[in-house]
Amino acid sequence: MHKSHGQRIGYLSRMSHRYFSEKLGAMGIGPGQTFILKSLYHEDGVHQESLVDNCQLHKANVARALAKLEENGLVKRESDLNDKRAKLIRLTPKAIEIKDDFFTAFRSWSEMLTQGFTDKEKELSFELLDRMAANVEPYYGDKNN
Amino acid sequence: MHKSHGQRIGYLSRMSHRYFSEKLGAMGIGPGQTFILKSLYHEDGVHQESLVDNCQLHKANVARALAKLEENGLVKRESDLNDKRAKLIRLTPKAIEIKDDFFTAFRSWSEMLTQGFTDKEKELSFELLDRMAANVEPYYGDKNN
DNA sequence: TTAATATAGTTGCGCAAGCAACCAAGAGAG
DNA sequence: CTCTCTTGGTTGCTTGCGCAACTATATTAA
């Protein structure tokens, strides 16, 4: 049977959860925390709100993911003294320690996806996904993710 | 920040849930039931097991999705007399009635994704997703989805 | 024929995600 | 200064999903 874009994307998304659970679960990272953590490795000490933007997740889920990361000792949340509503998120030494393992697992998923792709195809597959996401953003990007 | 294949795919998957909820919710179809229904429109009166294969979903979720579809009057489940363990799934007249609306909504999501794509790019985006899925299947396809 | 094994489907559990309602703190307008 | 409005974050509720354990029927082997 013909399978649609949507079906393929859903399948890949579900499989990625299984993959990340398997690879990162032992470090105390659930599949719902991967992108948040990745964003923090890229830029640490940010407001929770900027993680909402970066990861395009709902603020409720960012709150819960961070609670979990904190519980597992990967992140610290402290109030911003300049704005007592806001919280600053910082990676712990434990998180820094596992950074390499994290990225290894992270990259290996991309490599699994693009097995047998030429460099051109790898680039193109990424670009097309990016454009699909960009097509959707106007409809869903504004409100609250 | 550079966003990975994984992140884009996850985003698109989540947005598709929102889209389908919005478009199909009124007909009593949740985003988790779309692909099952689509498969049934393609081939009706099948075993639950073949939906598991077609939709690459876990059998537990197929069971629950069908329970919900039955609850909403879109599907009937009857025991197969030749194998009393198995159940045959059939669309109701109500499901047939909304078929066109269903496919309209369904296609409009694909069209949203591929806005501004050339025909070549549409085809290519589909093909690349297909190959990514095929790359993953050996690792996750066998067990039980 | 009976005992072991496999298979179709269901259920309990836990995680991820969106929505809506909420709280507390800041910002602006009178 | 106070009253309203906005904004960062949390919590309760619901849905989707995978895993593991379970029931009931089928199949196969002894």
Contact status, residue B6 vs residue A16, Cβ threshold 8 Å? yes
pLDDT digits (tens, 9 = 90+) for A50-103: 999 999 999 999 999 999 999 999 999 999 999 999 999 999 999 999 999 999
- The pLDDT of residue A139 is 87
Facing residue for B11 by CB, picked from A11, A56, A106 = A56
Distance from CA(A104) to C1'(C21), angstroms, rounded: 41
Could you tell me if A34 and A107 are in contact, meaning their C-beta atoms sit under 8 angstroms apart? no
Q: Nearest C-alpha of chain A: how many angstroms from B132? A: 5
Closest CA to A72 of A40, A42, A29: A29
A32 nearest nucleotide via C1' and CA: C16
pTM for this entry: 0.93
> How does DSSP classify residue A45?
S
Please indicate if any CB of chain A lies within 8 Å of the CB of B39. yes
DSSP one-letter string for chain B: ----HHHHHHHHHHHHHHHHHHHHGGGT--GGGHHHHHHHHHS-SEEHHHHHHHHT--HHHHHHHHHHHHHTTSEEEEEETTEEEEEEEEE-HHHHHTHHHHHHHHHHHHHHHTTT--HHHHHHHHHHHHHHHHHHHHHHTTTT-
| Chain D bases near protein CB atoms (7 A cut-off) | 7-12, 15-21, 24-27
